[in-house]
Amino acid sequence: MNRRSFLLGSGLTTAGLISSGWGESAKAEAAPISDFGISAPPDDENPRSCRPEDPLAALMDGNKRFVAAWRQKDKATTMAARAEAMAGLWQHDCFLSADVLSTGQAPWAGILSCADSRVSPEWVFDAAPSDLFVVRSAGNTAFDDAIASMEFTVSALNTPLIMVMGHSACGAVNAARNDAPLTPLLEQLVTPIRSSLTPGEDLEAAVKGNARYTAQQLSQRSTVLAEAVNKRQLKIVASYFDIHSGTVTLL
């Protein structure tokens, strides 16, 4: 698929990737949306207007807001009070109308995370619809479809950041560390995790090592992603989400 086909398929086009050398002030100029048969929304109703200057800082700031709500929730003694504590999120986000979102997307971060029900990137980073391009699978490995999906968001949607996020008490990583029999498909799933393991490490260290390994695999196995990194158009990072505290730590 050529680049123009990618762009037409995305429903929203931008010319050039935003630089991930975020100390620089240069921004990507947008190609006229009307060139592709889509009416351009006003500046304050444009998906590109929601993109932060520093995507990584925006993720971490969103996580700080989540942590504050997460800890407040744990102080509550009733289900209703816990719900009220969590309802304080999404007050600082960029919420676009459905009319705008139906024309396309401009995610400013790609997240490759575990499919674990306790790990929801939109919650963990206090993010609005269209902010994050999320791929999830047990063990957050660099499987083929995940890499292809990240190639799409970088090439077609100009996403400048990819974060691989492991998490505490990961069942897939724990399964990879043990010798318990697995189904053929589960065995296939944990095989790349086993490639990241170091003998004698505990589960937390194994999860962190797997996240780092996956982040490395993205650029090693994808020419598209490697070129974007080399041109400082993309940054790939690994992180660890602690379920108990709600905190995301960069690795």
What is the per-residue DSSP string for 139-188?
T----HHHHHHHHHHHHHH---EEEEEEETT-HHHHHHHS-----HHHHH
The amino acid at 132:
L
Quote the number of domains for the chain.
1
Mind listing the pLDDT tens digit for each residue in 76-135? 999 999 999 999 898 888 888 888 888 889 999 999 999 999 999 999 999 999 999 999
| Mean pLDDT, residues 150-158 | 96
User: Model's pTM, two decimal places?
Assistant: 0.81
Half-sphere exposure of 88 (CA within 13 A, CB side): 15
Using DSSP bridges, classify how beta strands 235-241 and 248-250 pair: parallel, antiparallel or unpaired: antiparallel
Q: Which domain holds residue 111?
A: 59-250
User: Does 15 fall in a domain?
Assistant: no
Query: Which residues is 164 bridged to in the sheet?
Result: 112, 238
User: Does 37 fall in a domain?
Assistant: no
User: Does 17 fall in a domain?
Assistant: no
Mind listing the pLDDT tens digit for each residue in 56-73? 999 999 999 999 999 999
User: Does 151 fall in a domain?
Assistant: yes
User: Does 130 fall in a domain?
Assistant: yes
pLDDT at site 179 = 87
User: Does 27 fall in a domain?
Assistant: no
The amino acid at 191:
T
User: Does 2 fall in a domain?
Assistant: no
Length of the chain: 251
**Nearest residue to 165 (alpha-carbon basis) of 218, 110, 240:** 240
Tracing tokens 């020419």 back to the chain, one arrives at: 223
Helix (H, G, I), strand (E, B) or coil at 22: coil
User: Does 68 fall in a domain?
Assistant: yes
Using DSSP bridges, classify how beta strands 132-136 and 161-167 pair: parallel, antiparallel or unpaired: unpaired
Instruction: Give kind and range of the element (H or E) at residue 236.
Output: strand 235-241
76: domain CATH number is 3.40.1050.10
